[in-house]
Structure 1
Amino acid sequence: MFRLAKISLAVVTVLAQSQLAYAESAETAELAADSKLERIEVRASGLKREVVEMAGPVTVLSGEELLRRTDISIGETLKYEVGVHANYYGPVASRPVIRGLDGARVQVVHNGMSTGDVSREGPDHTITADAVTAQQIEVLRGPATLLYGSGAIGGVINVVDNRIPQQIPQQSDTILQTRFGTAASDRSLSFAHDNGAEQFAWHIDGNVRKGNDYKVPLYQNDEGDSSKRLQNSWSEHQVLNIGSSYIAEQGFIGLSYGVIKTEYGLPEGPAAEYEEGEYIKLNQRRVALASEYRPADSLWQSITADIAFTDYDHAEFEDSEPGTEFLSEALELRTTATYELADSWRGIVGYHGNLRDYQALGDETFTPNTDTDSHALFMLHEKRFGVVKLEFGSRYEQLTHQAYALEDSLGSRDLEQKFNLFSWSFGAVYDVQPNQQLTLSYSQAQRAPAANELYANGIHIGTRSYEIGVGYDVSNTNGVAQIIHNPNLAKAEQANNIDLGWRGQFADVSTNINLFYNQIDNYAFLANLGFEITDFAAYQYQQQNARLHGMEASISWQITPEHQVTLIGDTVVARLRDGGYLPRVPSYRLGAEYAYRADSWGGQLGLTHYGKQDRLAENETATAGYTVVEAGVNYYFDWQQYELMAFAKLQNLTNRLGFVHSSFIKEDAPLPGRQLVLGFRLNF
């Protein structure tokens, strides 16, 4: 890997030297200013860089495109983005999968700070970040551990909103939006309001949503039971957020408070075991403070401090009786200082701390109560040399798990485990020509296994399995399992990831292509052991060396100002180094979309094909491919002083039956069938 990185760097350096005269010419700045490449600020980059300045692959969903893609969960909202799939535990608990990685390896943050939920502990746990009132959603593919910690070894998703205002609005701004979907009679109403006076600004937003069980194409399970609905896929959701800031010439300080209340069913197959079905009730309360100071200094551009406290609980019910309750209190602190030197060096240094108290209560708990503390120092620097911009960074993190009353076949004990983690990265952006860039990034990132990956030992209703952590020796003799904890078994993961990308604008054609190779040592994955414990299939987290490689590409042709055609494709191959494939990895995907845009209306027609997944792990079954057709139309009009937009979209137009390979319950939870979504948005 080091050899490959050195060769790539040498190529970039030679190309840069050959183009030095071009870089030093006076017209370079003018050409760059007229660039047609996407110039959207990426908040998650730390240095607030634009997309064209990023060495690693990044996607920003905003504006009309975000409105069109917004769905009832982050996973469903992002699942059509290049390189992003969803693990799918029903539409509500749908978590993003980036390049075959999900769970504890993909960090979802809200305005740069952790969501504080327990979605990474199980695929049936929903993400509390909401796309409905977001201004933009940023997807950083590949390791983003430097700013966000070892939980972002596979990527980071940043949901950006105006909950803590950073500028005083020039006038009052209110948005009302309503939606209705036919597949589940899903109806929602959301609002957002921003205003300010003198040096104060304030924000309030909220949304309510309710849906029934989803209609699906007719399907059967292995026992021959059939259904036209995804049983127990109903949901109810309420959110309210308020925030205010004091804004001065040299910075701001703001505070926000948010409440989330959600109930949703855990989807079941055609033959439901429980009359009412299993469901989850969750509550979250979150207080966040953000501040920035911009000193009148030639060196330090800004100093920031962000604090977030999240109080989260959710209970899993069976036949109206609570079985397991999860409690989590998390306190997060991030401080940064950004500098700029006279010779074009820019950088950021900072501290990131996270304290979490996690408890699992009830007769069906499968993880012990665990306190997790992490403290980290990080830095990221960049400098431009003519047509080449180089960046490098590093992070040192110390993470400690303190597990209480950990149980195995020998009894119960307390246990503390510490991990010292070091990550670093290098990147380069080479301006081949105006509007054409070659990018290279290499990173070596370390991750400590999450508490559930280490200490799980019990029935996990969400995955319908008996789940065992990586830190156990497991034996099965005559149907009797022996599970004995061994702290020496668990090791930190180390990902060596290289990305090579090309983005460019050729007349009316824009392209974005990325190749990646990710070698992960001590990769922890949940493997099917092939036997049962207490009538549940036994799964254990195992650590082996793995290799993931693939490609992502998108090409758009602006045929005329009104007509555009876009093609996308992505694929990932995930193997164990000693042979075999990793489980629950999405197959390849190909898509095409035609879009029309007139003065007051626009429309889209798209087709996405998901290939058959037959690269299977041990004790895993193949998943058939399927094709989804979608269409949409949106119309803009003014009424008095109001801006209004009406939109409609048809999802799964051909009512195709599709199963998600990355889902633990793929046989019992097909994707929704044909659905018409109607919406209306009012801005005043």
Structure 2
Amino acid sequence: MKLKKSFIAKQVALALAFASSTQLAFAQQESDEGTETDQHDHSYERIVVTASPLQKSAIDSAQPIYVMSADELREFQAATLGETLRNIVGVQASYFSPTASSPIIRGLDGPRVRILQNGLDVADISRGGPDHAISTETSTAQQVEIFRGPSTLLFGSGASGGVVNVVDNRVPRFIDEGISGQYGLNYNSVSQEQLASAELNARNGNFAFHLDAFQRDADDYEVPTFVNDEGEESDHIENSFTEDSGFTLGASYLLDNGFIGFSAGRLEREYGIPGHEHHGHDHGHEEEYHDEEDHGHEEEHEHGEEHDHEEGVFAKFKQDRYQILSSFENPIPGFERLDLNLGYTELTHSEIEEEMIGSGFAVEQSELRIAATHAPIAGWRGAVGVQVEQRDYESNGEEAFTPSSETDLTGIFWLVERNFGDLTVEAGARYEQVSLKTAEFNTLDYTPGSFSLGFRYQVNENLQYALNASYSERAPQANELFSNGMHFATSTYELGGIYELHEEHHEEHHEEHHEEEHEEEHAGEPHLELYHLEVASNALASEKSNNIDLGVHYQTERFHVEANVFLNDIDDFIYQQNTGIMSNQLELDHAHDEEHAGHDEHEGHGHDEEGLPVYLYQQQDARLFGYEVSGHYQVTQNWHIDAFTDYTRAKFVNGGNIPRIPAQRIGATLKYTQPTWDAALGMTRYADQNKVGENEEATDGFSLVNLRLNYYPGMFANQDVSVYFKVENLTDELGFVHSSFIKEDAPLPGRNIGIGVRAYF
């Protein structure tokens, strides 16, 4: 606690020192009041989508894109990206408790939704497991861009379901002369979360500088009393704490026609993994964990367990990220713009159980991305680009279920658009080469291709239609192919698609020879069918997605509505199937063990008393379809209504449902605004989810009611100040998230009271 208080004090003192040392103050209040008054109207304004090389706004794209502004980010700020975005239409969250929650876009997540930081991959391991936190922070972000639907043209195989791009100012682009900045302090009662964040920007001539930092500390969160899977009553979720901190330094040289800059940042996170049961594994080969820092929480936690590291499972990662970003207008004849970006990331991630490192991961990833916007050719304006990635992934520890691997990606793309009066036509294509290498298996090569065709028709100044059709391919990721072992965070035994399960058939004389000995040893135990693993003759194929999206946008002075319907047919859809087999039924092929050294350690995990459910990556054709509707109505000058609904239906073509698909939602918010304050009362209803996958249980619906008050006192000590008070889950309703791997053990938080202050100077 001393460390946390010291950090907050330093941030506030630093911000105040800069504020008092300069007469520069943001004339921000009027614009902030306008934003708060119509904070949902921003999506219809022409805010530039930075991830698009054509520098278009969301409303000017045939593909549905949502830009979450800085004000919305502050309003919905949460510890994880998934929880921050979960209120956006078409976006829900995987919710492995608040500590690890990833965005789900139209029913798709994980390896199908790519997470970017300033247009470059975040380079973590969050796409490979629901318990892995995303290594990006939104408390210091300027905006978040959400691409709903396939986005492989620009961002490659990992974007077949959508893209989330977190944009910050770590490499300064546009800064006024002098010094400016902001800082914020936040508190949430449901987990005693305390968050401090600060940002400083400075410019002197052509040189610009940036510094931001944050620290978050939260205890186990409280819930309405419920009975978990073990039949135990609980009013809080054990081992759901989180401790985060990070900073970023950046500098750039500003030119008349662009900029070039560099940034370096570090993010550290330690968080509990709830819902894990101990299975009595032998940790004889594991590395002992020593926490080098005394976090000093012994006296602070209401549930009194100093985060209970000795008992629970928790994860700890550190990431160092370096970026070079540059952009130039009219660099050479024939080209309007050139963007050249380079990223390099190192990440270490450990999962610790009983003071032992059960599994450890290390990622080293580099990415080069070049996009050049060319002048119109026969009336077609466009952008051509290249993307090169190299990812080295290492795993260690007895419970490391995915082998070390190397992934290389090279892609080229071309996007064009042309206006024909009120009709705009968009088209694009991409070709990609993906190579996956491991020491245990042969190299696997994939060549995904993608193309799209879109139309936007402006009927009149109020009405616009959009139609977008695309074909995209996604190469499987290493964990989908090569997993073989216990994933203790999800309490499952994972097998990659390169394996096949075969039932054991013992020879008759062999059975007779061991019958008496077997009966004596296992007297009274139920008979278990045994299975062995074999390498499949054919590895997983690339997913092939055919997607069509129809959208309509209607806008008047007081009324906005946007609606989309979509259909996504996916051939060879990759998913994890609960096989109904337990890990204590697995008999590993000894010849296979010798050929693939290092896998034999899993045998011990497979033969505990109960075993773990075996999940196998499989493929079959799937269909997803649904709708998204959102609207805003200004009833009077002061009263406003926002409403939305979304729904995704996901099933296999041959019958059955895709598991863990979010439920239908419908919500509305009533707002009242004044120049110096505003208030909002909203409710979201989550429907029952009865369309469940094999070996999956239905989830009851629930309703969440939220209240928020904002106050804008104006200038204070040369700072533009805003204060908020909020109550989330006002009725303290118990809600289980169907898309969560641990839904029965980690419901949504109970009633939360939050307060916060933000100041600009």
Q: Same fold (TM over 0.5)?
A: yes
Deviates more, 1:50-59 or 1:104-113: 50-59
The answer on 1:523 being equivalent to 2:576 is: no
* SS of equivalent residue, structure 1 residue 104: helix
CA 1:37–1:124 in structure 2 vs 1: closer, same or farther (change >3 Å)? closer
2:185 aligned with 1:178, yes or no?
A: yes
The Cα offsets for residues 546-575 of structure 1, whole Å up to 9 and x where unpaired, read as 000000001211112211101100001001
Aligned pair partner of 1:255 in 262, 274, 277: 262
Partner of 1:643: 720
Map of 1:662 onto structure 2: 739
- 1:296–1:241 CA distance, 2 compared to 1 (3 A): closer
Q: Is the 8 A contact 2:331 2:337 kept in 1?
A: no
* Residue 549 of structure 2: aligned partner: 499
Partner of 2:668: 592
Query: Normalising by structure 2, what TM-score?
Result: 0.83
Q: Structure 1 residues 271, 610: closer, same or farther in 2, change over 3 A?
A: farther
Asked whether the equivalents of residues 587 and 611 of structure 1 are also in contact (C-alpha less than 8 Å), the reply is yes
Say if 2:694 is the partner of 1:618: yes
Shift of 1:294: 2.2
Give the letter for the 1:79 counterpart. R
Q: Is the 8 A contact 2:175 2:201 kept in 1?
A: no
How far the C-alpha of 1:509 sits from its partner, in A, is: 1.3
Per-residue deviation, residues 333-379 of structure 1 (Å, max 9, x unmatched): 00111112276421110100110000110001111110000001101
1:433 aligns to what SS in structure 2? coil
| Counterpart position of 1:281 | 316
Is the 1:231–1:270 contact (alpha carbons within 8 Å) kept by the matching residues of 2?
no
Give the partner amino acid of 2:686.
Answer: Y
Q: What code does the residue aligned with 2:732 have? A: N
Q: Pairwise mapping of residues 404-553 of structure 1 onto structure 2 (< 5 A)?
A: 404-405=439-440, 414-477=441-504, 478-533=528-583, 534=606, 535-553=611-629
The superposition leaves residues 397-437 of structure 1 with CA deviations (integer Å, 9 ceiling, x where unpaired) of 000000123xxxxxxxx321000111001111100111321
Contact 1:168-1:199 within 8 A present in 2 as well: no
1:251 Cα deviation after fit: 2.0
Could you state the TM-score of these two structures normalised by the residue count of structure 1? 0.92
What is the distance in 1 between the residues matched to 2:427 and 2:711? Answer: 45
Equivalent residue, structure 1, for 2:729 = 652
Structure 2 match to 1:20:
none
Match of 1:80, SS state, is coil
SS at match of 1:77: helix
The Cα shift of 1:222 comes to 3.3
Alignment equivalent of 2:757, drawn from 670, 680, 683: 680
Deviations along 1:9-52, whole A, 9 cap, x unmatched? xxxxxxxxxxxxxxxxxxxxxxxxxx994211111222110122
The 1:36/1:141 distance shift into structure 2, 3 A limit, reads: closer
> Helix, strand or coil: the match of 1:452?
helix
CA distance in 1, matches of 2:278, 2:488: 16
> 1:296: how far off?
5.9
1:378 paired residue among 407, 410, 413: 413
Report if the CA contact (8 A) 1:84-1:96 is conserved.
yes
Larger deviation, residues 555-564 vs 179-188: 555-564
- In structure 1, list runs of 5 or more residues that go unmatched: 1-34, 406-413
Cα deviation, 1:146-193, whole Å, max 9, x if unaligned, reads: 110010000000101111111242332110101000011100100011
Aligned to 1:567: 643
Give the aligned partner of residue 220 of structure 1. 227
Larger CA deviation: 555-564 vs 496-505: 555-564
The secondary structure found in structure 2 opposite 1:647 is strand
Aligned to 1:134: 141
Q: 1:186 touches 1:211 (CA, 8 Å); kept in 2? A: yes
Displaced runs of 4+ in structure 1, greater than 4 A? Answer: 269-275
Q: 1:487 to 1:156 in 2, by over 3 A?
A: farther
Aligned partner of residue 379 in structure 1, secondary structure: strand
Question: Does the residue aligned with 1:92 lie in a helix, a strand or coil?
Answer: coil
Residue 317 (structure 1) aligned to one of 348, 352, 363: 352
Deviation of the 1:463 alpha carbon: 1.6
Asked whether the equivalents of residues 501 and 515 of structure 1 are also in contact (C-alpha less than 8 Å), the reply is: yes
- 1:268 Cα deviation from its structure 2 partner: 2.6
Q: Establish whether residue 55 from structure 1 lines up as the match of residue 59 from structure 2.
A: no
- Alignment-mate amino acid for residue 589 of structure 1: R
Distance verdict in 2 for CA 1:137–1:503, change over 3 Å? same
Aligned equivalents of 2:693, 2:44: Cα separation in 1: 41
Q: What amino acid does structure 1 have at the position aligned with 2:669?
A: E
Partner of 2:389: 354
* 1:625–1:658 CA contact under 8 A, matched in 2: yes
Note closer, same or farther for the CA distance 1:63–1:345 as it changes in structure 2 (3 Å cut): same
CA 1:212/1:270 → structure 2, altered by over 3 Å: closer, same or farther? farther
Deviations 1:302-345 (A, max 9, x none): 11211100000110000111110010000000011111227642
**Structure 2 CA distance for aligned equivalents of residues 343 and 416 of structure 1:** 43
Counterparts of 1:211 and 1:202, CA distance in 2: 31
Which is strand-richer, 1 or 2?
1
Match of 1:205 in 2: 212
Give distance in 2, aligned partners of 1:331 and 1:269.
Answer: 34
Once residues 385 and 153 of structure 1 are traced to their aligned partners in structure 2, the CA distance between those partners, rounded to angstroms, is 29
Between the aligned partners of 1:337 and 1:222, the Cα distance in structure 2 is 54
The total of aligned residue pairs comes to 642
Q: Secondary structure at the match of 1:43?
A: coil
Question: Do the aligned partners of 1:522 and 1:545 also contact (CA within 8 Å) in 2?
Answer: yes
Q: Is 2:681 the counterpart of 1:605?
A: yes
Superimposed CA distance per residue, residues 485-526 of structure 1 (whole angstroms, 9 cap, x where no aligned partner): 225131000010000000111341100000000000000011
Distance 1:466 1:212 in 2: 29
The structure having more radius of gyration, on CA atoms, is 2
Contact in 1 for aligned 2:573/2:620 (Cα 8 Å): yes
Report the equivalent of 2:274. Answer: 267
Q: Is the CA contact 1:36–1:435 (under 8 Å) kept in the aligned structure 2?
A: no
- Offset at 1:587? 1.1
* 1:644 partner letter: V
Match of 1:338 among 358, 370, 373: 373
Q: Is the 8 A contact 2:644 2:667 kept in 1?
A: yes
The structural deviation recorded for 1:298 is 5.6
8 Å CA contact 2:277, 2:491 repeated in 1: no
> What displacement does 1:250 show?
2.1
Give unmatched runs, 5+ long, in structure 2.
1-41, 281-307, 505-527, 584-605
